[in-house]
Amino acid sequence: MVFLTKIIEKPVMTSLIGEFDCKVDAKGRIMFPVNLRKQLEAAFEKGFVINRNLHQKCLVLYPISEWTRLNKKLSKLNRLIKANDVFVRKFTGGATSCEADNTGRILLPKALTDYADIKTDIKVLGSNNVIEIWDKKMYDEFLNQDINIEKLAEDVLGGLNFNDDADE
């Protein structure tokens, strides 16, 4: 008896990095930064989902594999529980599929650019597994907030064991 084994290949997403100054054209399109495109490799051709950020007035561009992974987790929430239902609706409500055109431009939906107060000058950031799109002025204001980064690092990272190789 012969058994065939199907190998399921999980997409490997590199940690996206970089901060890029870009412009929004008159039609609401941005030229995707070449450096980020190289980091995404084949994922770039598969498309994205763009949505509002939960905590800041900016947009989040999810490579489709990341959006699918997140959506699988959301689909496990019991929508008969009101808080779950409201959260899923609020979180996914603005989500929009988008693909780059032949020249590497991505159309930003008007409703989302209005939400994030995106004008002409923007910052595009590699942010681990997603890409953030900010109005440049809003991003500068965010960076200039008086935040104690030492305390924040301690609060967020203090309980992690950085000597543990289990994550590699």
**Three-state secondary structure along 62-125?**
EEHHHHHHHHHHHCCCCCCCHHHHHHHHHHHCCCEEECCCCCCEEECCHHHHHHCCCCCEEEEE
Cα of first residue to Cα of last residue in the chain, in angstroms, is 37
How is the chain split into domains, by residue range? 19-145
Q: What is the pLDDT of residues 92-104, one digit of tens each?
A: 999 999 999 999 9
The per-residue pLDDT for range 125-145, each reduced to its tens digit, is 999 999 999 999 999 999 999
Whole-structure pTM value: 0.85
From 122, 115, 124, select the one nearest 53 (Cα to Cα).
115
Radius of gyration of the chain (CA): 18
pLDDT above 80: residue 24: yes
CATH code at 19-145: 3.40.1550.20
Q: What is the pLDDT of residues 57-96, one digit of tens each?
A: 999 999 999 999 999 999 999 999 999 999 999 999 999 9
